[in-house]
Amino acid sequence: MISVNLIPLSDYGQLSLVVLGLLVLAYIGNAIRVWYRLRHFKGPTSVAWSKFWLIRSHIKQTVYLDVAEVCEKYGSIARCGPNWLVTNEPELLRRMYGVRSLYRRNKGHVAYQFKPGHDNIISVMDDGKHTRLRSKMFAGYSGKENDNLISSIDENIMKLVKLIDEKYVASGAEFKPMDIGRKAQYFTVDVVSTLAFGKAFGDLVTDSDNHQYIENIEESGPVIILVSVLPWISKLFKLPLLKSLLPSEADTIGFGKIMGFAKETVAERFGPNKKSQRDMLGSFLAHGLTQEEAESEILVQILTGSDTIATAIRVTLLYLSTNPRVLSKFLDEIAAHSPSSPITEPEAKAMPYLQAIIKEGLRLWPPSSALVTKTAPPQGDTFNGLFIPGGTDVGSSAWGVFRNKKFWGDDANEFRPERWFGLEDGRRKEMDDTMGLIFGFGKYTCLGKGVAMLELNKVFVELLRRFEFTVIDPTKPWKCLNFGIFSQSEMWMRVSRREKQL
């Protein structure tokens, strides 16, 4: 007979305790190691041990405020997670984003993949691929190979003017409240869809979220931005059950519907009867973008080119309509210059007060406020005498950068276009360089910057030369959401025609 020596049950209990003890010690040891490598950076107590603070902040949609407060309280480079730092230092951000920067994108960018496993200009981590994609799309975004860029923007501005004039102008006791928050986004969605697909979605014509794109983004945005903090969540969407919850090209509404448009539009440019046009998509393809890449980049255009610029329009209109002094000076400038209608870009650039107004709107509510991080190079980096260990994720606090009182002055939270005048050359350059971070910097500069500035240079002149806007309830001017970008709605205003159009 074979003899089997069984371990007594009491010994199993002791063995379990030993294993449990070793696991606890391993966890504590790792936690101490994680805390130790960034111990010289201060932050909320819990952030050195877990991502709970970051997760809660993202769920509450207050991360843009919370990280700004962390920088103000704990220093211009502060800790906000076990391996996360956040900064409001423009110089460090320029170093991180520069063309020759050794900082790299990290796994958090997987959140911006529209299809799991399919990269685009925002999500791609490989630096070489990112550079190649940019080079293929630069000419299209610059307008040099897009014959209808300016006319597309002008046409949609006049559609916005027509919508307001025919449907929302009130006089006397009439009450025709208008949600300018939604109208601003109908305008930006129609502009970017015209540029991306050659045809507007038609939101301004129907005065509605025609394909429920805006509604869909507001619902899914919080999940997208949470994935940037917890990248492993993206793997769950590869499971059959959860994959079915993702947008699909077969959807009849929402982002899935837009994906279907992208697929159809790009397909028209390939095959035996391919359509050829001198537009943005035509430029992309002429410079070597593949069919799959083109589909992804059209979706990037829609996502980044509508919500962000809509915020800039809403914010600036709110400040102008509640600041009689600034509005009066702006109207005087329009009257003095008597620009064309629609105003041309050279005419707009010749209006210094308009340029200062645009800068202040962008500064006070930076359209992109996500805590998007870059990873420090393996050898680490030293800034202002502080060593950032290799592999550390460093994010920017856009709200903190553009409302920093040490940089902008005690009135940093005030909408004051005059701050841009009477500056010494050195100070002017410093402010302009910092404002440049609104659209990224270096190899991460937003390709759509030129298109965005075209819209902003035109829309305020065209609206305010014709209409007066009055906030109906100044105590509650809007409903504001934040999921890396802002979305403002229920921005109710009363509109009346000016006695004399400027």
Two tokens at 442? Answer: 């270096």
Residue type, 374: K
Q: What tokens were used for 78? A: 């502060």
Say which residues have a Cβ less than 8 Å from residue 226's Cβ, sequence separation at least 6: 55, 58, 59, 111, 233
- Pairing state between β 373-375 and 393-396: antiparallel
Of 7, 94, 11, 87, the C-alpha closest to 43 is 87
In our burial notation (b when 16+ CB lie closer than 10 A, e otherwise), range 388-417 reads beeebbbbbbbbbbbbbeebbeeebeebbb
Q: What is the DSSP letter of 344?
A: P
Which residues pair with residue 83 across a beta bridge?
Answer: none
Q: How far apart are CA 56 and CA 79, in angstroms?
A: 16
Task: Tell me the backbone φ, ψ of residue 489, rounded to 5 degrees.
Answer: -140, -175
What is the amino acid identity at position 169?
Answer: V
What is d(CA 16, CA 10) in angstroms, rounded to the nearest whole number? 10
CA distance 63 to 451: 28
Which amino acid is it at 284? Answer: F
Comparing CA positions, the residue from 199, 203, 206, 230 lying closest to residue 58 is: 230
What are the residues whose beta carbons fall under 8 Å from the beta carbon of 142, sequence distance 6 or more? 450
Q: How far is CA 180 from CA 129, 437, 477, in A?
A: 40, 27, 11
Residues 370 and 350: beta-carbon distance below 8 Å: no
**Cα separation, 198 vs 262, whole angstroms:** 11
The answer to whether 480 is a known ligand-binding residue is no
Phi and psi at 279, nearest 5°, equal -135, -170
Instruction: Please tell me the distance from the alpha carbon of residue 27 to that of residue 19, in angstroms, as a whole number.
Output: 12
DSSP conformation letters of 384-424:
TTEEE-TT-EEEE-HHHHHT-HHHH-TTTTS--GGGGSS--
Residue in 371, 368, 362, 363 with CA at minimum distance from that of residue 486: 368
Helix (H, G, I), strand (E, B) or coil at 314: helix
End-to-end Cα distance, the chain: 108
Q: Which of 105, 48, 52 has the alpha carbon at shortest distance from 78? A: 48
Q: Which residues are annotated as a binding site for heme?
A: 446
Q: Which residues are annotated as a binding site?
A: 446
